[in-house]
Homo-oligomer: A and B are copies of this chain.
């Protein structure tokens, strides 16, 4: 049985669509279809319910999914472990961070934890929240730094991953000022439609704002555009396109400069945690050393 069958399966679980999954796995759809069949043959039970228009997991598939994720991660870790032992020890720390944090917060924070000299080579990948989750699950990175709203449903199963708070942030409604320095719009004012600059759904901030009741459907608010990149939204807001909820960490310079001003009073702010995730399973010595530094840090 080919180990990449697990990757195929997990991709299919994400997409619930053979054609798209096949494309993501860089295969033709027939080949992909047969590979899923092959996996099912190996497991000796169907994992997928195929009804032409609706692809769903069977009970067996649902049971199998978390195991498959664990196996994929374990495969990756086993390889890294061996490489490290071989001395080819890429002393590289692989970590993912969401776009919003990788620009400003993460670099600063890494210096606090201990300069790069102590960390060794750093391989940081900046991507969406969704991708970061995936990278961590696949074992392609050892850590993932992102925003987290307390008590929101987790994307990462508690049983396999743990997190540690490393800071806090606020999502602040901001927009460009008019000539007199006052906000172009003001949330809560019963005025006309307010153009809203949102996050697209792959973004973690999207989920957080949704959970906070600040989503598309809100009255008096019209989503004007959305982007995965908080910094793109920041630029749009600066140009007077509308109101955006932006992380304070990202926007505080602009606020100080006066190029962005509050479009609502602080009671509307959304407090969020900044956290770092890791797998519960044992990582390489190098990564564990880093984690020790992280948790001994007082934030």
Q: Which residues of A contact B (CB under 8 A)?
A: 1-4, 42-47, 58-64, 67-68, 70-71, 74-75, 77-79, 81-88
- The answer for the CA separation of A81 and B59 in the assembled complex, in Å, is 10
- The answer for the CA separation of A299 and B5 in the assembled complex, in Å, is 46
Contact for A81 among B2, B64, B79, CB less than 8 A:
B64
- The answer for the CA separation of A157 and B196 in the assembled complex, in Å, is 58
24 pairs, CB–CB < 8 Å, chain A vs chain B: A1-B75, A2-B2, A2-B3, A43-B79, A43-B82, A44-B83, A45-B88, A58-B85, A58-B86, A59-B85, A59-B87, A60-B83, A60-B85, A62-B85, A63-B84, A63-B85, A64-B82, A64-B85, A67-B74, A67-B81, A67-B82, A71-B71, A71-B74, A71-B78
Given A3-B1, A3-B2, A4-B1, A77 contacting B67 (CB threshold 8 A): yes
Residue of B nearest to A44 (CB): B83
Contacting residues, chain B, for A74 (C-beta < 8 A): 67, 70-71, 74
Known: A47-B82, A59-B86, A62-B85. 5 other contacts (CB 8 A): A42-B79, A63-B82, A67-B74, A67-B77, A71-B74
